[in-house]
Structure 1
Amino acid sequence: MKKHLVIVESPSKSKTIEKYLGKEYRVVSSKGHVCDLATSGKEGLGIDVDHDFEPKYKISKEKKEVVKELKEYASKAQDIYLASDPDREGEAIAWHLARVLDLNTEDNNRIVFHEITKPAILEAMKEPRKIDMDLVKSQETRRMLDRIIGFKLSKLLQNKIQSKSAGRVQSVALKLIVDRENEIKAFKQEEYWTIHAQCKKQNKAFEADLVKVEGKKPKIKNEEEAKALLERCSGEYIVSSISKKQKKKQPKLPFTTSTMQQEASTKLGFGAKKTMSVAQKMYEGIDLGGNMEGLITYMRSDSTRLSDIFVSDAKKFITNTYGKEYVGHVHQKNGKNTQDAHEAIRPTNINRTPESIKDHLTNDQYRLYSLIYARTLASLMKDAVYDVTSVKITNNDLEFSASGQTMTFDGYYKVYSKYEKQSDALLPKLEENEVLKNVTPTSKQHFTEPPARYTEARLIKDLEEKSIGRPSTYATIIDTLQKRGYASLEKASETSKTKVFIPS
């Protein structure tokens, strides 16, 4: 008989954790929420809106068998630990489980871990705490808002426009997509031209752009104006000034849910739903030749914080692998609405390189793990350093500008160059007051572009910047908008691989 019962959310997680805890423990799964708001009462809301918005809960129909099983296990256990996910939903699940299993909510029976590794699990077991009722109330409030808006507004919309549903966040996301479409429809294209000097020296070609005419920024509206300026390019092209400076480029911060979804979309072509599904599996545990190991920390996070222990291990790894000169410092920047309940999304073990475990991963898991690993490692490395040269070239009262750069120290690019393109644009050796001999002035016609439609990455970025929704909801929002037929993801053009949202 197992003395201790531990209840987690996910069945696949339970096997990994049971191995770590040993024979005295039984680890079982609630398979997510066991309770939800009832559909009884006024307007079927399951909320008494006339009496302090008192919610009424019931055990979900499909979870009755799960609850029966959990009660059976609980009756035989000496003590019970609630180990649902470390977020608001997880806290609410723990509270519902405590209620259906008749546990004392004042007991220290709630355990929380942010990665599924043996040290993290054993450490969490040493520090059980009470259920955090502030988090529970926060989740309750959000769920009740969902229900009130969902039921009342959906009913209205179904009657008026036969739409399937409305939601607290999906409606706002849909509005962004529709507003952008209206901007595109209202957009009036305008013509403009630019003038360039195609220069050549020592068989090295470079281009300088016209930046000033008689000391002012040029506005060239049509071909006639462009021709008139080209005719003024009759004098000598003189290098009037050369300035050199050093530029540093900082590595990006470690991943939050939002930035991981954006980067996986642009770099790997993963949709938000796929990214979260692959990340969830790696968080819950992968069989690495007989040992189940959680490869990444909790994948729902809005923080860029890294633990001190991990930072220390990572810096040792960088020193041993790339040299001491590559070790950078911790960058952290959290927004004003950041909850900072968990660390950034990172590998659980920096010594577990993508290549060392490639044989145990699917292709999608390997690609996402490689991205998370490289991003985390890069965030703790030194800046990349460039020598930047800026050149001004004058011709009568026209001023042209050209610039070039050379990387002098690769820094974090050592590990992140695969995901972040950089190119050296080199200039030939030039001297001040030098007269350039081989120069051809040219003009280019352009048209102003309407604002771009939302890609998944762009929509997620906008939602986050406007503080709409939480990291865990982005994938669901995007999926719902498509399932309900409110917007579709389509190729931006016949030649483009990029998909954009088009409202129905």
Structure 2
Amino acid sequence: MVELIITEKPNAAQKIAEALADGKAIKESINKVPYYSITHGNQDIIVGCAVGHLFGLAEKKKAGMNYPVFDIEWKPNSSIKKDDFSNKYLTTLQKLAKKADSFTVACDFDVEGEVIGMNIIRFVCKQKDANRMKFSTLTKEELIESYENKSKHLEWGQGLAGETRHFLDYYYGINMSRALTAAIKSTGRFKLMSTGRVQGPALKIIVEKEKDIKAFVPVPFWQIELEGVVKKGEINALHKEDKFWEKDKALLVMKNVEGKKEGVVSSIEKNEFTQLPPVPFDLTSLQVECYRVHKIPPKATLSIAQDLYVNGYISYPRTSSQQLPPSIGIKKIITALQKQEAYAPLCKTLLAKPTLTPHNGKKTDPAHPAIYPTGITPKLEKKEEKVYDLIVRRFLATFGENAKRETVTMTIDVNGELFIAKGQRTTFKGWHELYGPYANMKEEELPPAEQGDKVTIKKISMHDKETKPPARYTPASIIKELEKRGLGTKATRAQIVDTLFQRGYVHGTSIEATNLGINVVDTLEKHVPKILDEALTRHFEEEMEEIREKTKKQDEVLGEAKEVITDILKGFKKEEGDIGAELAQAHIDTQNELSTIGKCYKCNDGDLQIRRGKFGGFIACSKYPDCDVTISLPSGLIKPAGKECKECSFPMVTVIRKGKRPQEVCVNKECPSKKIEGSAGAEALKVASGDIEKPCPKCTEGKLVLRKSIYGQFYGCSRFPKCRHTERIENNQAFVKKAKKK
């Protein structure tokens, strides 16, 4: 009797094989796909692997760009995408399945893992059911326990809920995207458009924020600030009114304190409060915190966390739980972490406590606990180290003592006008010690004054200010907002936001909706608002949860979705021409917006825009052919830098090339920063005038001539493009300045 254990990734297969093997796991391969033969007790086991999803959804019969499409099925990825590397994993599992008498799924225990395993069991192994291992870490102890206590059935509720999500996302994605693309195509243009069940509402949230910002009208206000000295300590205080909305009132205060050299401390209030330890990380809070402290985008955080999990360093990251149950072996983990030098003193402090009780949060997950380190000493790259350190310190901090903070409010009387100075400090660090640099508490201590002390006034100033518009979403805060609104899942939100960037609907680190993004939302709101309906999206999320809990049938939910989508598309078809015209214009406006680098220096009327031609990128004036300015661009991704050159005031661009740091460059080839000086400069002038001839060292037929690019001057072969030899002139000023900075 042979048992086939199916894992989600090759690394997981190795971990599971090594954990379960009584002796040594024998590594074998078929077509370079690894699998392992082991014995556990009296059971012969083969551990095979997938590489994520081996099957994807596709139309049973291709319908071109026609819609609606509902006749879909699971197909091997290799039949959907050419050159898909997953096919060799599928065929390997097919061969291994023929050797097996029983089957166990050991994919990640979540919705996606269940779908991956369920499809392999149904379509590769040709089985109706299988055993199921459930684990949160890839440690030997947990894997053995998971195997020996495996369920006799797949988690069908979870699997069918996941499959339903795939079907719904495909229904929405393929149909709505085809409808949008067809609408633009009807105008004679082509632009691949997309929207989806969650993507549409997510874009609407960002666009609504953008509209709030654009509609914002700043309101002026005035603040009066006192700068002084008390007990030899500097102090800054604002008038108790804080913001004066009427200038006359502020001027009256200024008149009342004019010429005053002293004030008096009329009162001091101190308040101490307790600061509870942070709760353990779920995926969203990890992504938000990683962005706050390391500026690592949510998608990258998830990828790094997944790698840490697969290598056995942390627990499963795709969790909604903020709770650490005793069953994970808390003391054992902290004892293991103590072996790592960076955490040894922190762990020693915790292990001295009589009990170890985490400050758990409210959120739970039926499949996994909160994210925690396993205690295994890792070998990490720099970015991985940052995420791992944050996870470890957060884990330790949840067991820390409450911190104590104190706020101090000092009131200063100047001729009857009251000014307030505020300070805050930590009086007992508690869990701050464990969280280390990530605690980052503001410490603003006031001088040790007492009531009645004199304050020497250095100056009292009135500041003109105005209210600020609401802040744009960051990659982290939009993830948090989507979670708050119940849109998407912990595992998909980062990808949804990433898609908005790829489609050109949003841009920037501080996420700004483009004209295209705004117009997509406006157009859909006007003609087919249901596509953007948050409530509808949440409704289907709730129904999928009911499928998971086995209180609703999959067919019911999919049937309802087909009706909703068909109804939406009927309305869309009627308005297709208008929708297409509006979106096509929005696309043009967005292209112009994102490609404009500044005003044309020649005609002062047009805009300099980045364009693509037969021979690559170049910059041209929007008033062409009336203005014939063109500037060739180097290879790579070129973006407007949004700034002017300090040397010549010409616009600058950012050049992004694979494997290199982005570089900001002035587009002016004659910029003083690109001047060649010294002996190399003198030689270059002679080469340019023909007084010196330098043969091309590559082709030997041409000679080197002086050429110019946005990077500066250089030597190139006169036989270009037949010979593409170039030489850098080392003391080009731009190069020299860069070298000096290093």
Q: TM-score range by the shorter chain?
A: 0.7 to 0.9
Counterparts of 1:84-163 in structure 2, within 5 Å, are 84-102=107-125, 104-107=127-130, 109-129=131-151, 130-161=153-184, 162-163=191-192
Is the aligned partner of 1:27 residue 2:47? yes
Is the aligned partner of 1:70 residue 2:121? no
CA contact (8 A) 1:94 1:110 kept: no
Tell me the alpha carbon deviations over residues 9-46 of structure 1, each in whole angstroms, 9 at most, x when there is no partner. Answer: 11222122222122223221122223333402697777
Between 420-429 and 230-239, the greater mean CA deviation after superposition: 230-239
Match of 1:17 in 2: 16
Structure 1 residues not aligned, in runs of 5+:
49-54, 286-293, 491-498
Task: Measure the CA separation in 1 of the matches of 2:460 and 2:356.
Answer: 45
CA contact (8 A) 2:400 2:434 kept: no
**TM-score of the two chains, using structure 2 as the length reference:** 0.59
Is the aligned partner of 1:470 residue 2:489? yes
Match of 2:418 in 1: 399
Match of 1:288 in 2: none
Identify the match of residue 245 of structure 1 among 263, 266, 271. Answer: 271
Task: Measure the CA separation in 2 of the matches of 1:502 and 1:403.
Answer: 38
3-state DSSP of counterpart to 2:315: coil
CA contact (8 A) 1:345 1:372 kept: yes
Identify the match of residue 191 of structure 1 among 190, 213, 220. Answer: 220
Counterparts of 1:217-256 in structure 2, within 5 Å, are 219-222=244-247, 224-233=248-257, 237-256=263-282
Tell me the alpha carbon deviations over residues 345-383 of structure 1, each in whole angstroms, 9 at most, x when there is no partner. Answer: 11112xx5xxx64xx211111111111111111122112
Is the aligned partner of 1:366 residue 2:398? no
**1:362 is aligned with what amino acid?**
E
The 3 A distance-change label for structure 1 pair 66 and 437 is closer
Task: Measure the CA separation in 2 of the matches of 1:323 and 1:454.
Answer: 41
Match of 2:394 in 1: 375
Task: Measure the CA separation in 1 of the matches of 2:300 and 2:307.
Answer: 11
Match of 1:40 in 2: 60
**1:181 is aligned with what amino acid?**
E
Shift of 1:83: 0.8
The 3 A distance-change label for structure 1 pair 113 and 40 is same
CA contact (8 A) 2:333 2:373 kept: no
Task: Measure the CA separation in 1 of the matches of 2:163 and 2:333.
Answer: 39
CA contact (8 A) 2:360 2:398 kept: no
**1:270 is aligned with what amino acid?**
I
The 3 A distance-change label for structure 1 pair 180 and 82 is same
Match of 1:306 in 2: 324
- The ranges of structure 1 where at least 4 consecutive aligned residues each deviate by more than 6 angstroms after the TM superposition are 41-46, 325-328
Tell me the alpha carbon deviations over residues 376-402 of structure 1, each in whole angstroms, 9 at most, x when there is no partner. Answer: 111221122123322223345533222
**1:58 is aligned with what amino acid?**
K
The 3 A distance-change label for structure 1 pair 272 and 186 is same
Shift of 1:410: 1.3
Task: Measure the CA separation in 1 of the matches of 2:97 and 2:428.
Answer: 60
Shift of 1:203: 1.7
Task: Measure the CA separation in 2 of the matches of 1:475 and 1:257.
Answer: 11
Is the aligned partner of 1:7 residue 2:6? yes
Match of 2:619 in 1: none
Shift of 1:99: 1.2
CA contact (8 A) 1:9 1:31 kept: yes
CA contact (8 A) 2:404 2:430 kept: yes
Is the aligned partner of 1:173 residue 2:202? yes
Task: Measure the CA separation in 2 of the matches of 1:152 and 1:197.
Answer: 63
Counterparts of 1:306-345 in structure 2, within 5 Å, are 306-308=324-326, 309-313=328-332, 320-321=348-349, 324=352, 329-335=357-363, 339-345=365-371
The 3 A distance-change label for structure 1 pair 437 and 327 is farther
CA contact (8 A) 2:350 2:400 kept: no
Counterparts of 1:268-283 in structure 2, within 5 Å, are 268-283=294-309
3-state DSSP of counterpart to 1:148: helix
The 3 A distance-change label for structure 1 pair 424 and 57 is closer
CA contact (8 A) 1:211 1:399 kept: yes
Task: Measure the CA separation in 1 of the matches of 2:129 and 2:51.
Answer: 24
3-state DSSP of counterpart to 1:417: helix
**2:348 is aligned with what amino acid?**
N
Shift of 1:115: 0.7
Is the aligned partner of 1:257 residue 2:283? yes
**2:405 is aligned with what amino acid?**
Y
The 3 A distance-change label for structure 1 pair 443 and 204 is same
Task: Measure the CA separation in 2 of the matches of 1:340 and 1:204.
Answer: 55
Tell me the alpha carbon deviations over residues 149-171 of structure 1, each in whole angstroms, 9 at most, x when there is no partner. Answer: 11221121112244421111222
CA contact (8 A) 1:326 1:382 kept: no
Task: Measure the CA separation in 2 of the matches of 1:140 and 1:408.
Answer: 53
3-state DSSP of counterpart to 2:426: strand
3-state DSSP of counterpart to 2:171: helix
The 3 A distance-change label for structure 1 pair 304 and 193 is same
3-state DSSP of counterpart to 1:253: coil
Identify the match of residue 459 of structure 2 among 440, 459, 464. Answer: 440
CA contact (8 A) 1:210 1:398 kept: yes
Pairwise CA RMSD of aligned residues?
A: 2.7
Match of 1:384 in 2: 403
Shift of 1:315: 6.6
**1:19 is aligned with what amino acid?**
E
Task: Measure the CA separation in 2 of the matches of 1:424 and 1:485.
Answer: 42
3-state DSSP of counterpart to 1:472: coil
Task: Measure the CA separation in 2 of the matches of 1:115 and 1:102.
Answer: 26
Shift of 1:459: 1.1
3-state DSSP of counterpart to 2:214: helix
Match of 1:58 in 2: 75
Percent of matched pairs sharing the same residue: 29
Shift of 1:110: 1.1
**1:256 is aligned with what amino acid?**
D
3-state DSSP of counterpart to 2:465: strand
Match of 1:79 in 2: 102
**1:182 is aligned with what amino acid?**
K
**1:467 is aligned with what amino acid?**
G
CA contact (8 A) 1:315 1:327 kept: no
3-state DSSP of counterpart to 1:195: strand
Tell me the alpha carbon deviations over residues 266-292 of structure 1, each in whole angstroms, 9 at most, x when there is no partner. Answer: 21121222212221111111xxxxxxx
Task: Measure the CA separation in 2 of the matches of 1:411 and 1:210.
Answer: 35
Task: Measure the CA separation in 2 of the matches of 1:436 and 1:488.
Answer: 50
3-state DSSP of counterpart to 2:330: helix
Is the aligned partner of 1:295 residue 2:323? no
Identify the match of residue 511 of structure 2 among 493, 500, 503. Answer: 500
Task: Measure the CA separation in 1 of the matches of 2:404 and 2:201.
Answer: 42
**TM-score of the two chains, using structure 1 as the length reference:** 0.84
Task: Measure the CA separation in 2 of the matches of 1:177 and 1:397.
Answer: 47
3-state DSSP of counterpart to 1:471: coil
Larger Rg: 2
The 3 A distance-change label for structure 1 pair 193 and 383 is same
3-state DSSP of counterpart to 2:97: helix
3-state DSSP of counterpart to 1:460: helix
Task: Measure the CA separation in 2 of the matches of 1:443 and 1:382.
Answer: 44
Shift of 1:432: 2.5
3-state DSSP of counterpart to 1:418: helix
Task: Measure the CA separation in 2 of the matches of 1:326 and 1:209.
Answer: 47
Shift of 1:295: 0.2
The 3 A distance-change label for structure 1 pair 322 and 193 is same
3-state DSSP of counterpart to 1:244: strand
Shift of 1:325: 6.8
Aligned residue pairs total 466
Shift of 1:442: 2.1
Match of 1:495 in 2: none
